[in-house]
């Protein structure tokens, strides 16, 4: 069956897919490898903003009580400024998440993660409001209001889970939200504040949240939640296995805020999916596979219909929620591995970044786009269902509108079980826990997508293209018009070896 | 038929193949693109020295007569020092060629090349000897004698051709050689001087050269000639076609000096092939093809038996002997194109640079080597004969000694008509004379060799490897021992999609 | 006497001083050192466009006649594209100068400069018009019309001098201008064309030029001339001495086009001074001195009142009109020396680049400016007259309006006979013709302006500042408001050594 | 009084001063700013090795117990390899300090520092020995024995202090030392192990340490201690003031191990001062001052007579023992500040790196050296006593042997209260806690030493040089022979402005 692609656009590929990306916690951005990863991601993908935990946690050192004729607090931005300077230098803005609680302001000892983020309410809401105001005021001073008003400010992270908010206490969260939202607006009314950053499975929070902010006139500029499609965790040492529900599950989660808020005062607010991935575990090997890329291809292709942003959690395996990773590939969230090797899902994003804005066709295994200058770019993938292994082989047949040119060239990049696949290559090397310099070179080289090029004569402004897809393949085909500049005197059969 | 490779070395791969490489003329090294090309070549290949024309030509500005109470000459090293500094910064030494004649010292007007190198004898041998002495003395002052004595000094270029030496006057060349060799030794007896830098087809010069220097006790530390295997030129605008004789022709030329000097006092001197290539024309498309690489593979594999160095002419298409190239690919000598894209022959050299020093086997389509640390590296190629198109497909079957390991991984890089082939990709794009930025990106990407990786269980310290070769393919297979670090609790079938 | 600087601006510092800068000839931009120089100049100064000779000369290889069933011409942009790509990568646009004549299109043999630019009229005006159209059309194809219409196109260079235009034939130039201007407009009416690129001392050309283009309705979008203030050349080997007229002479030349065209149809056209400097010789040592910077300071400070651009000839000593420079410092035009060391005049430009847009005061030894954010930046210099040595010492006394702050800091950079002066340092080293690596390091270090910093309390929104100027000094003083963040518990006298 | 410097060397400047430098803890080397600091330090100073705490602490993640049919331990080198790879890439070797205790192996909860290094003995000496063996064996596998045997292995840090070793229990330390030393030698007998890494004021440990290892035949390849000269801490918020004893105190401490071990079996072992500085507090402003540099100048000049290495603690202010620094300058140990600005003491080290190996003279305010090529390099400083402010001005008068040259040039770099002094500049800016981008630029520029250059005629192979020193100045004067290449036709008085 051939997909006959129309010449007129059927839609637009919005920038929702690149609007935001996740980083583990802000402090990681002080790291060399994390910055190199960001530099690469920005060069080849170009996200607009980056969100991470722990902006106010101890390792950022912002909240600093001291004694001098009584207790005082100093707001120290030594690290915060360094992190934000770094983001901006790499052309990416912070998507601020206010949390977790500084020890000196915490009401309890409960922490989350290896790096011990304190998840208890503030011991003093006044001091918390001062901290929020002081920090944002400093950011406005340093970076200018024009800039900072483009940084969404999200209040806390997944307060519906006991891991992230003591007792998952809804009333306490609403109090935190209220105090915080007002503190943000105290700095400037144009700053954008929102929440409640729910985890999957907490849709029952939407109604009370909407009711609370409406009733008490609490500022809300956007709403946010997370999306993951994995089932219960089955642990092994340093790892976890999980089943996945089909990709549509993620799209359903993307759409949930609008469904649940329909009819409320929050119905028309921007919706940010401030985290998503297949598995929510940083040690599930699925993240390292081509399967993960093929699984997410339709999600990235379609998510923009449902949300204003959806933020892949996370761009780099440099991430410490479960401690220092015990092996090079360890099921981390990252688009890039430790030592900066791209995983298949990285390439999926890099392919998206080369698509055009006009959507000419979208189907279960393809997204055909056109650039403003007329060039076509086709994303194709093997559909997978979250469970069974993909097909050995599948062919997408396209009939493309290429306009008034006699010839086009094709340039194709392929990622599959064998190509552009660091995981397969690492398995071939015996899964070295800490690869040697030589092994890292081989892995880098093996992670480059396979490239194929060709050219085709057109007929009536159209060209037929068969795109064979191997197992778990994600592929990009770019179609360029060809202007033939071959001089008439050239004759390749006169070259030795080309008779 | 399977090649059963012995575990014991049958020989050594000497460094003769990387001892020297050609650059058009020294002045080109002032160019940005030429330096970038050198940087890449040195990073991935690592030649030991570089030889080019025109060290004393006008565009280097060394010989500078001026009037002040009569005629004086100043030796100006502004550019020479800049060129040599650049070489040394890139880890490559100059192989000095003394020539051509500065206008202010020339006895006539005859020039060679678009850039007009004067090829007439000096109007004053005294002033010429001063120039040689002055220049070398300056180099010794600036770089130290320890360094400069490692730079061979060759007297002139192809004096047997009327294009390069007025009337191809042998007696005049011998005079030049004598004066020059003594001038070099005046600076320091340890400096290395040689000649006569003959073109192919001039073997009748060996006997008189040997007789002259022996009789008159003229210093000679090495002898040199060039090697090319192309036939008569058939010109088209901005281009040339030529037939090629089989690759063995080049090896025969490499061996000629030793054959012809046998029995003379020069019999045991080092032999430098200071230029070689298939065609001697800078506008023959064969240089751009995979065919050129397949043709040269056995020459590089075997040349070290016959000469102490053989210098590919040249490392970059940035070269102006026939003027400014009229198209991106134009049949230039370069390993790298304008704008720095590697051609197939570049990859052949890069593959050589990854071979081990021990030779385990050598055949018409393979060279099996081993590194000091035990890793194997195999160079394989489709044999070509200089005329007809290569086979569609050919398979090399190897039985390799891999030592005491249970498993090995293979990492293969392929260059052929379709892979790692800038010429094919450029043809697909319509042969743009001056590719756009986007086209250059595509060409760079298409020029990367295809990569394949795998792993194999061994048996009795050996492994069987089939290496299918497509048309005009040159391939490198690296074989690494595998230490399996897979923890026993890992089970890939528990990853979604890998059931 | 104290200069009491008003708080309200008295004018604007236009961008005329940075609108354009000269490069010897376009081909030089293929060089490594020339690009490094451009990169530095752009990083620290930031010119908007760059103008050079020889766009159509043989070494750019554009005009390429060939035989194939008769004579044909190919327009080859291999080098032109490389040069222009490089400019744009460095954030600078070409200011196109159409010339000199390709050998294959020349009517005679007369050349100018060591690099032999042919200065004769075309043998065929039809083929010349084709060349102009073909080249510009290609540029529009490659870079887009939006971009190329921002590149002024100047017809030829100094046609009033016999060195640059055979017989300085005015009628022939007008014919060339007419044919060329129409050819430019054939490509697109929005392209900007102008001339006549006069040398100093040719003001009698303005009237006939204006009359000719008006009468014959020839397109003119801007007018251009050059400005130099040096007297007759007194030659020594590899060098020239000349007297200078006072700096006002340059400003008078800048103003000449408007004076001479007043009342004509060209009266309101933009005026570009497409070359200027003290001496017009590339071998006059004055260019290397602090005197040159002090001399030009008032010219740069005031030139924007008189012309839309004035282009310093040239940004780098990499320049070959008189051949390869025979010594490191040789009186070249460059802001940067060979090997990239900044001369005093470079720093003058770098200081200008740090001034604000509002002019608060301008005098014979100062230019006081304010940035949009309120910071002051003061350029000061020792006035010189073109002849005698400057004062040993002079003090500029300023009373500055600093606004509502209690304290300001000052940051001063000084260039004088001793500071930031590569020439003095080079003399101390014995004027080495080709400095060693170590000497180059010392010269680079000695070329950095001396830095002084301080802070001052303000009174009534003002501060008094004394700026002592040593011989031939050019200095920049930046004044920043200080917000004192010193905690009250700090006490420097408790630091050992600060009692 | 003039110092008449003899032409014959009186000694050698050993490399002890650059043999080692401190970094806070190993994990910091994962940071971007820390690596940039290391890169700069290595480029301009070039230390041989680097020592830091926490190699085995939790944030390096090496010791990883897990459950799988009982308790197991995995040795994970993900971060360790990354840190060591980074060191070697920057040309510096690790000086390994074994400690602190991983939580999973600790016998108690006591920690030191903000980053919580556990300082209790292992709960199992068997598991500890496994950890030591496993880690070192991995390092030998990865980096080769030839390399690792050049990395000293020090057992723990300051066990004589209760902060660093529970109860400062000497018997327990000796047990730890014994087990550890044997574990190290189990890997390879050629690995170098030592201790006891004493803090100042613990000389009573030498005798029992020597007795213990001798009696029980425990391997010891070197001995180590620390040196600091500050008195009791006087705390203010985020800072500390302390008195300093005179510089000789540090030299006395350097010499203590040899004094105390004289006559024991350890008498001839290498002595490493594995930490030293003025103050032992990371928040004492003295570290930021020129005074610190002037104070340490004689220590660096003379320390090599007393110890085989003395390691400045530390090269960068990126350091977290007291938490995240609350201000840009905060009295940190670093040679470089946060954001990489050099402090005066950095320049002292950079000056040392430019000295020659032959010592011609050494005095209370000078160290005169000569390079192998004959160039002189003089380090001079204002002597300070640890208490009072230095002199306003002081002049060192030298009579130098310069050999057979007619002229010499001088190139001087100055660091003092005003020059090359980031602290003074920061005070002028109002001590901003987190400087803006603009302020950082100004601070970087203000931190460059002032440069002065000149030239002098010699007489009888000698030259007199007066070196005026301003307050707290540390200065380097390099003396180069001058070969005058000035052509006889140059006449500077013919340059305008130089009459």
CA D268, D269, D275, D277: dihedral to nearest 10 degrees? Answer: 20
Secondary structure (3-state) at A152: coil
D324 and D200 inside one domain: yes
Q: With a cut of 90, say whether residue C499 has pLDDT above it.
A: no
Residues A318-321: contacts with CB under 8 Å, at least 24 apart: A318/A24, A318/A28, A318/A31, A318/A33, A318/A34, A318/A37, A319/A24, A319/A28, A319/A282, A320/A24, A320/A25, A320/A28, A320/A113, A320/A114, A320/A115, A321/A24, A321/A113, A321/A114, A321/A115, A321/A282
**What proportion of chain B, given as a percentage, has pLDDT over 70?**
100
Whether residue C117 is contained in a domain is answered as yes
Average the pLDDT over A465-484 and give the result: 97
**What is the average pLDDT score of chain D?**
97
Contact D52, D58 (CB under 8 A): no
**Residue C448 — very low, low, confident or very high, per pLDDT cuts 50/70/90?**
very high
pLDDT digits (tens, 9 = 90+) for B280-336: 999 999 999 999 999 999 999 999 999 999 999 999 999 999 999 999 999 999 999
Whether residue C486 is contained in a domain is answered as no
B343 and B224 inside one domain: yes
Point out the domain boundary residue: B335, B352, B369: B352
pLDDT digits (tens, 9 = 90+) for B138-169: 999 999 999 999 999 999 999 999 999 999 99
Whether residue A487 is contained in a domain is answered as no
pLDDT digits (tens, 9 = 90+) for C124-146: 999 999 999 999 999 999 999 99
D387 and D321 inside one domain: no
Residues of A noted as catalytic: 158
Whether residue C492 is contained in a domain is answered as no
**What is the pLDDT, as a whole number, of residue D235?**
97
Q: With a cut of 90, say whether residue D307 has pLDDT above it.
A: yes
Whether residue D494 is contained in a domain is answered as no
Chain B stretch 242-281, residues whose beta carbon is closer than 8 A to a beta carbon of chain C? none
B185 and B261 inside one domain: yes
**What is the average pLDDT score of chain B?**
97
pLDDT digits (tens, 9 = 90+) for B428-457: 999 999 999 999 999 999 999 999 999 999
Tell me: cis bond preceding C164? Omega within 30 of 0 counts. no
Report the alpha-carbon distance of residue A321 to residue B239 in Å, rounded: 63
Average the pLDDT over B480-496 and give the result: 97
Query: Does C489 contact D388 at a Cβ distance shorter than 8 Å?
Result: no
Name the catalytic one among D154, D158, D166, D322: D158
Report the alpha-carbon distance of residue B26 to residue B319 in Å, rounded: 10
Q: Mutual orientation of helices D248-261 and D290-302 as an angle, nearest 10°?
A: 30
A55 and A103 inside one domain: yes
Report the alpha-carbon distance of residue A53 to residue A59 in Å, rounded: 11
Report the alpha-carbon distance of residue B292 to residue B284 in Å, rounded: 11
Q: With a cut of 90, say whether residue B405 has pLDDT above it.
A: yes
Average the pLDDT over A134-157 and give the result: 98
C39 touches chain B (CB under 8 A): no
B128 and B243 inside one domain: yes
| CA distance, residue B128 to nearest chain C CA (Å) | 19
Backbone angles phi, psi at D185, to 5 degrees: -70, -25
**Residues on chain D touching A433 (C-beta within 8 angstroms):** 76-78
Report the alpha-carbon distance of residue D232 to residue A472 in Å, rounded: 67
D375 and D307 inside one domain: no
Domain that holds residue B444: 2-9+358-481
**What is the pLDDT, as a whole number, of residue C400?**
98
**What is the pLDDT, as a whole number, of residue C387?**
86
**What is the pLDDT, as a whole number, of residue A387?**
86
The residue of B324, B337, B339, B440 whose CB has the most chain C CBs within 10 angstroms, and thus the best one to mutate to test that interface, is: B324
**What is the pLDDT, as a whole number, of residue C388?**
87
Whether residue A488 is contained in a domain is answered as no
**Residue B390 — very low, low, confident or very high, per pLDDT cuts 50/70/90?**
confident
**What is the pLDDT, as a whole number, of residue C68?**
95
**What is the pLDDT, as a whole number, of residue D250?**
98
C158 assigned to active site: yes
C373 Cβ contact list (under 8 Å, min separation 6): none
The ipTM estimated for the assembled molecules is 0.96
**What is the average pLDDT score of chain C?**
97
CA B469, B471, B475, B480: dihedral to nearest 10 degrees? Answer: -20
A405 and A291 inside one domain: no
Whether residue C497 is contained in a domain is answered as no
**What proportion of chain B, given as a percentage, has pLDDT over 90?**
98
Tell me: cis bond preceding A58? Omega within 30 of 0 counts. no
**Residues on chain A touching B453 (C-beta within 8 angstroms):** 424-425, 428, 442, 446
CA D342, D343, D346, D350: dihedral to nearest 10 degrees? Answer: 70
Name the catalytic one among C19, C154, C158, C417: C158
CATH code of C27's domain = 3.20.20.80
Report the alpha-carbon distance of residue D383 to residue D364 in Å, rounded: 7
pLDDT digits (tens, 9 = 90+) for C168-191: 999 999 999 999 999 999 999 999
Number of domains in chain C: 2
**Residue A119 — very low, low, confident or very high, per pLDDT cuts 50/70/90?**
very high
C390 touches chain D (CB under 8 A): yes
The DSSP element (H or E) to which A257 belongs, if any, is helix A248-261
A334 and A366 inside one domain: no
C126 and C241 inside one domain: yes
Query: Does D289 contact C499 at a Cβ distance shorter than 8 Å?
Result: no
Burial profile B424-451: b = 16 or more Cβ within 10 angstroms, e = fewer: bbbbbbbbbbbbbeebbebbbbbbbbbb
Average the pLDDT over B76-97 and give the result: 98
**Residue D329 — very low, low, confident or very high, per pLDDT cuts 50/70/90?**
very high
DSSP string, C363-381: ETTEEEEE-TTS-EEEEEE
Contact C378, C369 (CB under 8 A): yes
D40 and D97 inside one domain: yes
Report the alpha-carbon distance of residue C112 to residue C165 in Å, rounded: 9
Average the pLDDT over A417-423 and give the result: 98
Other chains touching B, judged by 3 or more CB pairs under 8 Å: A, C
Of the candidates A230, A381, A415, the residue with the CA atom closest to the CA atom of residue A301: A381
Q: Which of A79, A86, A323 sits opposite D324 (nearest CB)?
A: A79
Average the pLDDT over D24-40 and give the result: 97
Average the pLDDT over D26-30 and give the result: 98
CATH code of D419's domain = 2.60.40.1500
pLDDT digits (tens, 9 = 90+) for D176-232: 999 999 999 999 999 999 999 999 999 999 999 999 999 999 999 999 999 999 999
Average the pLDDT over B344-354 and give the result: 98
Specify which residues B427 forms β-bridges with: none
**What is the pLDDT, as a whole number, of residue D290?**
98
| CA distance, residue D497 to nearest chain A CA (Å) | 46
Backbone angles phi, psi at C230, to 5 degrees: -95, 155
**Residue D387 — very low, low, confident or very high, per pLDDT cuts 50/70/90?**
confident
**Residue D128 — very low, low, confident or very high, per pLDDT cuts 50/70/90?**
very high
Query: Does A326 contact D76 at a Cβ distance shorter than 8 Å?
Result: yes
A83 Cβ contact list (under 8 Å, min separation 6): A26, A27, A29, A30, A60, A94
pLDDT digits (tens, 9 = 90+) for D409-461: 999 999 999 999 999 999 999 999 999 999 999 999 999 999 999 999 999 99
**What is the pLDDT, as a whole number, of residue B169?**
98
Residues of B noted as catalytic: 158
Chain D stretch 429-448, residues whose beta carbon is closer than 8 A to a beta carbon of chain C? 429-433, 438, 442, 445-446, 448
Q: Which alpha helices (H) appear in B98-203, and where do they start and end?
A: 125-143, 145-148, 170-187
Strands D222-228, D193-198: pairing is parallel
Q: With a cut of 90, say whether residue C153 has pLDDT above it.
A: yes
Whether residue B489 is contained in a domain is answered as no
Point out the domain boundary residue: D310, D325, D352: D352
List, edge to edge, every strand of the sheet that includes B450-457: B11-12, B358-363, B366-370, B376-381, B474-481, B407-415, B450-457
pLDDT digits (tens, 9 = 90+) for A270-285: 999 999 999 999 999 9
Point out the domain boundary residue: A352, A385, A416: A352
B337 and B362 inside one domain: no
A61 touches chain D (CB under 8 A): yes
**What proportion of chain A, given as a percentage, has pLDDT over 70?**
100
Tell me: cis bond preceding A320? Omega within 30 of 0 counts. no
């Amino acid at each position: 069956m051939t997909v006959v692609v129309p010449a007129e656009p059927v839609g637009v590929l919005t920038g929702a897919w690149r609007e935001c990306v996740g980083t583990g916690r802000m402090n990681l951005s002080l790291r060399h490898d994390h910055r190199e990863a960001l530099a690469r991601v920005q060069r080849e993908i170009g996200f607009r903003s980056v969100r991470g935990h722990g902006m106010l946690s101890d390792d950022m050192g912002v909240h600093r009580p001291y004694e001098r004729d009584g207790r005082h607090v100093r707001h120290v931005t030594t690290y915060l400024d360094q992190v934000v300077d770094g983001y901006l230098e790499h052309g990416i803005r912070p998507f601020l998440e206010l949390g977790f609680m500084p020890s000196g302001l915490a009401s309890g000892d409960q922490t989350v993660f290896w790096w011990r983020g304190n998840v208890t309410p503030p011991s003093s809401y006044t001091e918390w409001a001062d901290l929020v105001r002081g920090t944002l005021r400093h950011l406005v001073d340093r970076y200018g209001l024009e800039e900072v008003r483009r940084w969404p400010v999200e209040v806390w992270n997944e307060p519906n889970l006991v891991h992230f908010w003591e007792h998952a206490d809804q009333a306490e969260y609403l109090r935190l939200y209220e105090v915080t939202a007002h503190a943000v607006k105290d700095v400037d009314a144009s700053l954008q504040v929102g929440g409640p950053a729910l985890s999957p499975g907490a849709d029952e929070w939407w109604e009370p949240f909407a009711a609370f902010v409406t009733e008490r006139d609490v500022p809300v500029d956007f709403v946010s939640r997370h999306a993951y499609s994995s089932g219960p965790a089955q642990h092994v040492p340093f790892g976890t296995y999980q089943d996945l529900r089909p990709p549509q599950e993620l799209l359903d989660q993307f759409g949930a805020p609008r469904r649940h808020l329909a009819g409320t005062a929050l119905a028309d607010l921007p919706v940010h999916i401030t985290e998503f991935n297949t598995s929510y575990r940083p040690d599930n090997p699925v993240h390292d596979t081509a399967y993960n890329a093929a699984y997410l291809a339709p999600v990235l292709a379609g998510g923009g219909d449902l949300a204003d942003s959806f933020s892949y959690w996370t761009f780099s395996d440099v991430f410490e929620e479960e401690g220092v990773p015990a092996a090079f590939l360890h099921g981390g969230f990252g688009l890039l591995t430790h030592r900066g090797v791209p995983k298949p899902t990285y390439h999926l994003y890099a392919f998206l970044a080369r698509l055009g804005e006009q959507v000419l066709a979208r189907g279960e295994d393809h997204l055909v786009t056109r650039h403003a200058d007329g060039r076509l770019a086709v994303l194709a993938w093997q559909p997978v269902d979250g469970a069974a292994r993909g097909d050995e082989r599948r062919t997408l047949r396209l009939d493309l509108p290429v306009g008034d040119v006699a010839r086009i060239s094709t340039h194709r990049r392929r990622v599959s079980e064998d190509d552009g696949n660091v995981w397969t290559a690492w398995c071939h090397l015996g899964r070295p826990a800490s690869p040697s310099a030589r092994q890292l070179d081989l892995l880098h080289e093996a992670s480059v997508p396979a490239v194929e090029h060709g050219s085709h004569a057109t007929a009536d402004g159209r060209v037929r293209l068969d795109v064979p897809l191997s197992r778990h393949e994600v592929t990009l085909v770019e179609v360029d018009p060809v202007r033939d500049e071959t001089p008439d005197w050239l004759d390749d059969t006169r070259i030795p070896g080309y008779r």
